[in-house]
Amino acid sequence: MIYVDDYILFEPSVKPLYKKSNKDYWFLFKDNKLLTLKNENQVQIPRWEHIDDLNISIYNIQYMGAFCGYNCYCGEIVDDIWDEENFAFLDLKTLSKTVDENTYTLSSKANLLLNWLKLNQYCGVCGSKMHKKDSSSERALVCFKCGNTTWPRTSPAIIVAVTKGDKLLLAQNRQFPNRLYSVIAGFVEYGETFEECVKREVYEEVGIKVKNIKYFGSQPWPYPNSIMIAFTAEYLDGEINVDGEEIVHADWFSKEEILGMYNKSRSIGSKLIEWFIENY
């Protein structure tokens, strides 16, 4: 057990690290929506004491590790009928606008773990059923037929705030609801460095070149198994010319313009925009 105050909050583990308690956290999903507790307008993760007497069937129960000394479990709810008024199912994007950083990160971890199990039910080599590896220290799925082993994998994606003078590059993605503006993002290709990916994505999507690419931060991104690696960069060369497929419109926006159209959330894209607002 290595929980150290606010230095190491989460201890990943396959087997329970602490004695089972009524205060243990339960991250339960149904159709990719998380079961949350509504408590005086605050959204919270249910503890065992909240769900113990609910008559629900949970499958795929996984031990995630411990947060601040409390065990964390995740699983999926089978039941179709739900009439508990103190609870609500929220998707993670909605959750990101209402909860604190730790709750959001833990919920993403839970979703990533369940997604990994869903996406790896069968062996990628021989097609046989995969089984949980019997080990107290390693989280893995193994094929009993051919021995293929798979571990939870993370696909990196980059996200970048590009500035030009006192303006920020924002783009409208075709797939975003309501055509919201956002910073540029995209998946890292095989064998690509993050810096190469930043240059390529910005060039592909809006036709400009960037310089001074700097690491900003990262965030698990469970859609279904990614991590966002965030950067800042400066305009180098070129005119905005959107690809017309993924991006329908892009432009340089001032701080004042952004303040009038921006919805704060726990997503790292939102943090990049906050960084711009605070520093420009």
Q: Which amino acid is at 276?
A: F
Rounded to whole angstroms, the Cα distance separating 31 from 14 reads 24
Which tokens hold the place of 183? Answer: 């910073």
CB of 124 to Zn ion, least distance (A): 8
Residue closer to Zn ion by CB (options 130, 184) is 130
Is 148 an interacting residue with respect to Zn ion (CB under 5 A)?
Answer: yes
Residue closer to Zn ion by CB (options 118, 174) is 118
Helices vs. strands in the chain: H and E counts, helices first:
6, 17
Three-state secondary structure call for residue 104:
helix
Using CB under 5 A, which of 78, 119, 126, 259 touches Zn ion? 126
Phi, psi of 110 (to 5 degrees): -60, -45
Using CB under 5 A, which of 61, 125, 180, 259 touches Zn ion? 125
Is 143 an interacting residue with respect to Zn ion (CB under 5 A)?
Answer: yes
How many residues touch Zn ion (CB under 5 A)? 8
Is 169 an interacting residue with respect to Zn ion (CB under 5 A)?
Answer: no
Handedness of CA 20, 25, 28, 32 (dihedral sign): negative
CB of 93 to Zn ion, least distance (A): 35
Residues 6+ apart with CB under 8 A from 97: 263, 264, 265, 266
Residue closer to Zn ion by CB (options 124, 165) is 124
Near Zn ion in 81-120, by CB under 5 A: none
Is 259 an interacting residue with respect to Zn ion (CB under 5 A)?
Answer: no
| Structure-token match 């980059």, residue found | 158
Selected range binding Zn ion among 61-69, 135-143, 238-246, 270-278, rule: CB under 5 A? 135-143
**CA dihedral angle for residue 152, residue 158, residue 159, residue 162, rounded to 10 degrees:** 170
Is 142 an interacting residue with respect to Zn ion (CB under 5 A)?
Answer: no
Near Zn ion in 179-218, by CB under 5 A: none
Chain residues that interact with Zn ion, rule: CB under 5 A: 123, 125-126, 128, 143, 145-146, 148
